[in-house]
Amino acid sequence: MAVTCLDITCLCTFLISTVFGYTLSSDTEITVNPPQDFEIVDPGYLGYLYLQWQPPLSLDNFKECTIEYELKYRNTDSKRWKTIITKNLHYKDGFDLNKGIEAKIHTVLPGQCTNGSEVQSSWLEATYWISSQGNLETKIQDMDCVYYNWQYLICSWKPGMGVHFDTNYNLFYWYEGLDHALQCAHYIKANGKNIGCRFPYLESSDYKDFYICVNGSSESKPIRSSYFIFQLQNIVKPLPPDYLHLTLMNSYEINLKWSMPGGPIPARCLIYEVEITEDDTKWVTTTVEPEIIHIMRNKSQQLCFLVRSKVNIYCSDDGVWSEWSDKQCLEGDRQTKILLSFLVPFVSVSLISLLMSYLVYYCPKTSLKMICHTKKEVFSHQETLC
């Protein structure tokens, strides 16, 4: 039995060597070293980090070979690693600096270098944790950033809980294209403290990560920094639509039209929500059609509509609805006139009746007496006159 087994092993070895063109032998087992000097470097871009390393030692046997590196990294609280295969000696990406970062890398010799299957080195690890001073409650709260009309970025926040009154916060920002992180130039203040920032014009800042750090200082205790990453096109709040207009096509069909106020948002990037009120019925409809919808009208007395807009999924992942526009009504003027011509006499009559009742109830005690008295006097005068 043992002999047959050995025979089979030999046969297999023979077959494998024929097919793959090399011999299995422990003497020629190929190994490769991990890369050297693996490190995570923070260039001060508030979350955009460099992962860098040097080639492994003793690569002389693989001179004609392009070796690769498999890099894995994640924020420490995340379950999933991001994996990158690269031939370079560095990689750059954005990280959430509120948390720690861990990364690992190994060398990969592709199959064509080893006359067989791919060979991997052991892993080399690196971690990065921004020195986090101050306890969590000292961080700012309720950070809210809105990119108004794709033009003006405004962020606002509330101070951390239980921080000393001398605490003040500062905002720094960076995106690819800026040489270094910049501090907010126009703070929004309340009681002399910074509670928001009005950003300047942000040149070529769309569709890239925008990094913000809000840190603070206080004499009494250290303040924890907060980090944020977002893309500007995802927090756009357009201005409300303008120039609403209804056109009666015939007695049942109406066209609703509007336009967007000026600004950099292309019409193809907008979606609209139209709220229509017909007498007592209200309904909302959504349209991507630029600035016009066509509706059928029942025998309504009054038809009104208003519109709001948002950046659509073709131009961003998310957005903020604009405020509602002013309301526009069909024959609104005539309706108002009718209403007024009814209301004015009604209100006048009511007011007069109210005045009369007041006089009747309260006058006898005071004013009426006087009136009566005067009357009497007048009478007596008249009497004397007579």
Please give the residue ranges that form the binding site for ligand NAG (CB under 6 A): 44, 114-115, 170, 172, 181, 213, 215, 217, 278, 281, 298
| CA atoms of 272 and 307, how far apart (whole Å) | 7
Query: Which C-beta is closer to ligand NAG: that of 213 or that of 274?
Result: 213
Type of residue found at 254: I
In this structure, the number of other CB atoms found within 10 A of the CB of residue 159 comes to 20
Task: Give least dist CB 44 to ligand NAG, A.
Answer: 6
Task: Give least dist CB 184 to ligand NAG, A.
Answer: 11
CA distances from 350 to 346, 353, 358, 360, 361 (A): 6, 5, 12, 15, 17
Query: Which C-beta is closer to ligand NAG: that of 22 or that of 165?
Result: 22
Task: Give least dist CB 280 to ligand NAG, A.
Answer: 9
Q: What DSSP designation does 337 have?
A: H
Q: What DSSP designation does 348 have?
A: H
Task: Give least dist CB 139 to ligand NAG, A.
Answer: 12
Task: Give least dist CB 172 to ligand NAG, A.
Answer: 4
Reading the block at residue 13, the tokens are: 């070895």
Query: Which C-beta is closer to ligand NAG: that of 53 or that of 174?
Result: 174
Task: Give least dist CB 21 to ligand NAG, A.
Answer: 6
* 8 A C-beta contact, residue 329 and residue 256: no
| CA atoms of 349 and 263, how far apart (whole Å) | 51
Task: Give least dist CB 188 to ligand NAG, A.
Answer: 18
Query: Which C-beta is closer to ligand NAG: that of 107 or that of 215?
Result: 215
Task: Give least dist CB 27 to ligand NAG, A.
Answer: 12
Query: Which C-beta is closer to ligand NAG: that of 172 or that of 228?
Result: 172
Query: Which C-beta is closer to ligand NAG: that of 113 or that of 311?
Result: 113
| CA atoms of 252 and 229, how far apart (whole Å) | 51
Task: Give least dist CB 57 to ligand NAG, A.
Answer: 17
CA torsion angle for 241, 246, 249, 251 (degrees, to 10)?
Answer: 140
In this structure, the number of other CB atoms found within 10 A of the CB of residue 305 comes to 22
Q: What DSSP designation does 324 have?
A: P
Sequence-separated (6 or more) residues with CB below 8 Å from residue 263: 149, 150, 151, 238, 239
Sequence-separated (6 or more) residues with CB below 8 Å from residue 4: none
Query: Which C-beta is closer to ligand NAG: that of 200 or that of 263?
Result: 200
Query: Which C-beta is closer to ligand NAG: that of 63 or that of 79?
Result: 63
| CA atoms of 90 and 73, how far apart (whole Å) | 13
Q: What DSSP designation does 291 have?
A: S
Query: Which C-beta is closer to ligand NAG: that of 146 or that of 181?
Result: 181
Environment class of residue 157 by beta-carbon count within 10 Å: exposed (0-12), middle (13-18) or buried (19+)? Answer: buried
Q: With H, G, I as helix, E, B as strand and everything else as coil, classify residue 248.
A: strand
Chain mean position to CA 209: 12
